[in-house]
Structure 1
Amino acid sequence: MSGHAGTEPLIDTALTQFAELVGSVDDWQAQTPCEDWSVGELVDHVTGNTARFAAMARGEEVDWSAKPESGPDRVAAFDSAADELRDAWSEGTPAPVGMASGEYAVHTWDLATALGRSTSDLDPAVAESGLEFMRGNLTDDSRGEVFGPEKPAPQDADTYGTLAAFAGRSVT
């Protein structure tokens, strides 16, 4: 799935990493570090935002408030949305890399944590880009209901953990 022509390499990596985690899910009802979301709801959210990033790349108006539903096959739904983004990106104006990398990195941490998996083997450049974007754009006033107040990250946290703590997750 990786290495699609015209796709921003960092986002291609982010999509591939997330897809690999989605493909390993065996309990869609499991709790995530996002208090209100199950694993399935988290994947629905990321799948929906992936389709929105594709719409942005095509120059379309995006409704960020619509509640996403991936249908019965969440793996196929995410793969389809990821391919749609890759195609749109190669044909249109790219969606913002920092915004997209922030989305994928923080939710990759969420999903990996819910699955009991480490993020230490993931490409740190995705999380570094997301952290840079979020530090520059996420203020106390703009956190709203989506992100809690920044929490301390453990000294040994990788970049995904540091980003998750910045986004208000409890990282242990």
Structure 2
Amino acid sequence: MANPHQAVVVLSRAIDQAGDVLASIHPDEWDRPTPCGDWSVRQLAAHLAVAPEHFLQQARGEEVDWVAEPEVADGQWAGHFRNHGDDLLHHWHEQPDDQAAQADWQSAELGVHTWDLVRALGRPQRLDDEVAERGLAFMQQGLTPDNRGEVFGPAVDVPDDAPAYDRLVAFAGRDPRA
């Protein structure tokens, strides 16, 4: 029998791996460029650190300004992220089965930005393929060439049998071969 809360289980793993990457960032890496537009590691880490908090605010029906400067002190990203990640998971565990699958869009966001940081840091990091698979499936349901806006570049062609994270980030407009 399929677990209707599998999206929440996968989101938990996405939070774990993103938190681990955030905790691994050293001050001498803060100004490195990332594959995420013109953001530095510092800017992307701060953005990622507030993502669970913003996700929870949206779930409560609150307005969220995703482009506002995050108010997390440099180097405090992992702790902030993990605290709010726990709150987000508690929220999803309290939701009915028919709503739990909505957590997949959050896994997509976390998966892409975790990959961005891993790539920018240049360290090997094993990333959870199911996070990428579920995130990609979610993105493919609603992200079209017409609604990509400024956040996502055009999809990059990769082979159908490319690794899961290559397919996820390519769909989000990053070139995993770069």
Where on the TM-score scale, by shorter chain, does this alignment land: which range?
Answer: 0.7 to 0.9
Alpha-carbon shift at residue 133 of structure 1 (Å): 0.8
> Could you tell me whether the CA contact under 8 Å between 1:53 and 1:85 is conserved in 2?
yes
The match for 1:51 among 53, 63, 80 is 53
Supply the distance in 1 between the matched residues of 2:147 and 2:123 (Cα, whole angstroms). 30
Supply the distance in 1 between the matched residues of 2:172 and 2:57 (Cα, whole angstroms). 25
Is 1:41 paired with 2:26?
no
Unpaired segments ≥5 residues, structure 1: 1-6
Is 1:160 paired with 2:165?
yes
TM-score (normalised: structure 2): 0.81
CA RMSD across the alignment: 2.2
More helix by share: 2
1:45-100 per-residue CA deviation (whole Å, 9 max, x = no partner) reads: 1222211112234x232314451232232222222221221233334575822211
TM-score (normalised: structure 1): 0.84
Aligned length: 164
The ranges of structure 1 where at least 4 consecutive aligned residues each deviate by more than 2 angstroms after the TM superposition are 86-95, 153-157
> Could you tell me whether the CA contact under 8 Å between 1:39 and 1:114 is conserved in 2?
yes
SS in 2 for 1:139: coil
1:19-98 correspondence runs (5 A): 19-26=19-26, 27-57=29-59, 59-67=60-68, 68-72=70-74, 73-91=76-94, 96-98=102-104
Supply the distance in 2 between the matched residues of 1:157 and 1:43 (Cα, whole angstroms). 27
Is 1:105 paired with 2:111?
yes
Unpaired segments ≥5 residues, structure 2: 1-6
- In 2 relative to 1, CA 56–95 (structure 1 residues): closer, same or farther, beyond 3 Å? farther
Is 1:136 paired with 2:136?
no
What letter matches 1:136 in structure 2? Q
Residue 174 of structure 2 aligns with which residue? Answer: 169
Q: Percent identity?
A: 40
